[in-house]
A and B are shown apart, each in its own frame.
Chain A
Amino acid sequence: GEDVEQSLFLSVREGDSSVINCTYTDSSSTYLYWYKQEPGAGLQLLTYIFSNMDMKQDQRLTVLLNKKDKHLSLRIADTQTGDSAIYFCAERFSGNTGKLIFGQGTTLQVKP
């Protein structure tokens, strides 16, 4: 099936860690992505993880992948007000078309 789900809203205080969760359905997905969308802007690629990895760290970002449970998470350490945005999880659909299936996006609100 083609379904990626995320919680819709997360609110944190500046300096705290944020964890955004995502579940997906296509067990043959090879790559999973996190994109960030600021108000009125396009999607900015944040990071991606290959399906044979459990974890990937990139500065303040940590991606965890539990392939058994088809669960992906994005942790943002020391969250800043500039991190306020919508975060989209996406899985690369199986097949050779490049098709991405996106979650509905999680709005992250960072309070000063």
Chain B
Amino acid sequence: DTAVSQTPKYLVTQMGNDKSIKCEQNLGHDTMYWYKQDSKKFLKIMFSYNNKELIINETVPNRFSPKSPDKAHLNLHINSLELGDSAVYFCASSPGLAGGPQETQYFGPGTRLLVL
């Protein structure tokens, strides 16, 4: 059984398009995250949600809008895609923010986005 799943796995699109990436976790976790990994493998947090409430919003362009319809889902919508958005986007989840092992994050397989 997949714990943290993302769709699609690969996404190739043209500049200027709008696209969404979906994430679902079946671990019963309260907290979910989006990370971006660039071509040099550098991994940086973008957003986190705890119980559907936005907790972290790093300096990400407002073309990126996360949406959490429920605790088990955190989707990422990207408007007006740019070449620099090409990267691997990872979703992650953790049991909560109580500290300690409760915050251990489990990652999805990633969505490879290529903007042409």
Contact = CB atoms under 8 A, between A and B. Distances in A.
Given A41-B109, A42-B110, A98 B90 contact: no
A42 B4 CA distance: 10
A8 B14 CA distance: 32
A100 B105 contact: yes
B100 A31 contact: yes
Interface residues of B, number: 28
B44 interface: yes
Nearest to B43: A102
Interface residues of A, number: 23
Interface stretch (A12-20, A43-51, A54-62): A43-51
Given A48-B104, A92-B103, A98 B43 contact: no
B66 interface: no
B107 A98 contact: no
A29 to B, nearest CB: 12
A105 B56 contact: no
A59 B79 CA distance: 46
A30 B98 CA distance: 12
Interface in A49-99: 50, 86, 88, 92, 96-99
B110 A98 contact: no
A97 B48 contact: yes
Interface of A: 30-31, 33, 35, 37, 41-45, 48, 50, 86, 88, 92, 96-100, 102, 104-105
